[in-house]
Structure 1
């Protein structure tokens, strides 16, 4: 069942600025030029109950803007978002009170905790804001304290917490009222290895045991590989890909690289053609051949070994990191 439905969601920013003349002076005090930026460009997708969906894309692609539209922080220029619930669907920017009870939100660079209060007092205030009954609050807090290991700093003022401790506190605050949907925007940014694994383990447990539906944006591909079965790849405000992780690799990297080091006389130049396969010389002297996933590698090896001795061989399969790196590089160069 679709828990989140997004249809033709659009966000355009319009900035006005004075128009300048030939020599840098204002042409007129009343002349303005409009500069339009389409941050989210008519995107469509749904998220089913219990899914964990990773939202990937380079800086400026529209990921964080999309999350802010989904949470109601921003109003869209067009389109709609609906979050299902027992009393009917709610639109984030219109049904603010209803949507607040259905979602938990953690922004990696923003905190919802009270800076000068001990962490436990922030939790009490969050519970009061959401009218969480006492027994339910006690049970949820006990579970969150155990899963996130909060006890060592539960009575420490938030301003004295490390980044990792604050992030664990924010995660707990976001789930105290049992929301069916959790939005995470860069939840592991700036964290050390141990803190990242704690956050990932907690999100995975919340999804498996509580059936919490999770949509996260991240630049850390380890977050996606650890938590997500589905990816939304966003660039220039559009969804370029929506599907499983391995499907992204198959779509954008339908090949593998075969690295060969040859003994004997080396051909001149930086390119070598063997039986239709074109290799490029690496800085360490090896030849890199790109071979389609359905092409037989043994044909390349037979051609490479014809009159030569293959000294070293390795096959490099494309993975999520290599695919995303290539996509980002193409974006910068484009």
Structure 2
């Protein structure tokens, strides 16, 4: 559905070169990205501010012309065939609206049906599904300007899907939402992805969105891909470790060592201990603790993806 080969976008900026003089400098925003995304995939596309995420999305949707390289979406060249492409993609930008500010949500949806020339039956069927999954009925007749941010974002998602796009681009779809609204949006997108009907590309700073929705994660930094694979592969590559937190029956001996694990913290008179598991399995670690000091309670904590990504950005292993 999406192909990028050596895709590049440069911007020319003017910088001071003295008191009265400025010179031009070329800044690469996207620096030779090559990716292939297949039909039905849900891909998380993340990176720090200025990494090139939004620039990539703008080239994929035909808003920006690449400086060089090749790109196709749904078999179309985004800029030369932008009108045809618009009928086959949906776009949601968290801080921009495609709804009419002074019109009720229902009328915005009606206008979009005419703009995209969607048959009435197809439009009604898709709208029924969105109304049910996103709980739209209570504010369908409310002007968009009176909606809360969470309500408006649910409306934006519906608007992007009413014409039946093959690819959905989401740029920060949960930015600023409260916990309840985030859960509603994530549940809807998870259901959408499970159907396999839509290819989804998600850029976000909220890594919980990625963990909840995407099996494949693409990380970019300074316009280049530094990781393309599963979240589990990212954890493995950058040495993230699970943690075992144990409430012990008696204090740990001062010289206690747990094979395959590192003691990271001890609390409350050494009755609670946290171990970072390296080579040991959780079962082996628990068995060793029970044998040595006894265990009252324990929990196994999975590594935090935010810590892993932060480690990636500072790693000397990044290309």
Displacement of 1:209: 3.1
Q: Distance in 1 between matches of 2:110 and 2:11?
A: 38
State the distance in 2 between where 1:156 and 1:258 align.
50
Aligned with 2:87: secondary structure? helix
Q: Which residue of 2 aligns with 1:155?
A: 141
Q: Could you report, residue by residue, the CA deviation over 1:294-325 in whole angstroms, capped at 9, with x for unpaired residues? A: 689979x98x99xx979998765434343124
Equivalent residue for 2:13?
15
**Structure 2 residue 230 is the aligned partner of structure 1 residue 244:** yes
Quote the residue 1:74 is aligned against.
64
Superposed CA offset, 1:189-221 (max 9, x none): 111111111111211222233611101011222
Are 1:327 and 2:317 counterparts? no
Q: Calculate the TM-score normalised by the size of structure 1.
A: 0.80
How is 1:63-142 mapped onto 2 (pairs within 5 angstroms)? 63-84=53-74, 89-142=75-128
Local SS of the residue matching 1:197: helix
Please say if residues 207 and 305 of structure 2, whose CA atoms lie closer than 8 Å, have aligned partners that are also in contact. yes
| Deviation by residue 1:48-89 (Cα, 9 ceiling, x = unmatched) | 1111111122222221221111111111111121122xxxx2
- For 2:260 and 2:58, locate their aligned partners in 1 and report how far apart those are by CA, in whole Å: 50
- Using the alignment, how far apart are the partners of 2:47 and 2:214 within structure 1? 15
8 Å CA contact 2:260–2:280 kept in 1: the answer is no
Q: Quick one: structure 1 residues 57 and 311, their matched pair in 2 at CA, closer, same or farther if it must change by over 3 Å?
A: same
Q: How does 1:1-334 map to 2 (within 5 A)?
A: 3-20=1-18, 25-26=19-20, 31-84=21-74, 89-209=75-195, 211-253=197-239, 255-256=241-242, 263=251, 292-293=278-279, 316-328=301-313
CA distance in 2, matches of 1:264, 1:184: 50
Q: Which runs of 5+ in 1 are unaligned?
A: none
Name the Cα RMSD after superposition: 3.3
> Gapped runs of 5+ residues in structure 2?
none
Q: Residue 230 of structure 1 contacts residue 243 of structure 1 at CA under 8 Å; is this kept in 2?
A: yes
Larger Rg: 1
Change (3 A) 1:33 1:203: same
Aligned length: 311
TM-score by length of 2: 0.83
Could you say if the C-alpha distance between residues 36 and 155 of structure 1 is closer, same or farther in structure 2, counting changes exceeding 3 Å? same
The 8 Å contact of residues 282 and 288 in structure 1, kept in 2 or not, is answered as yes
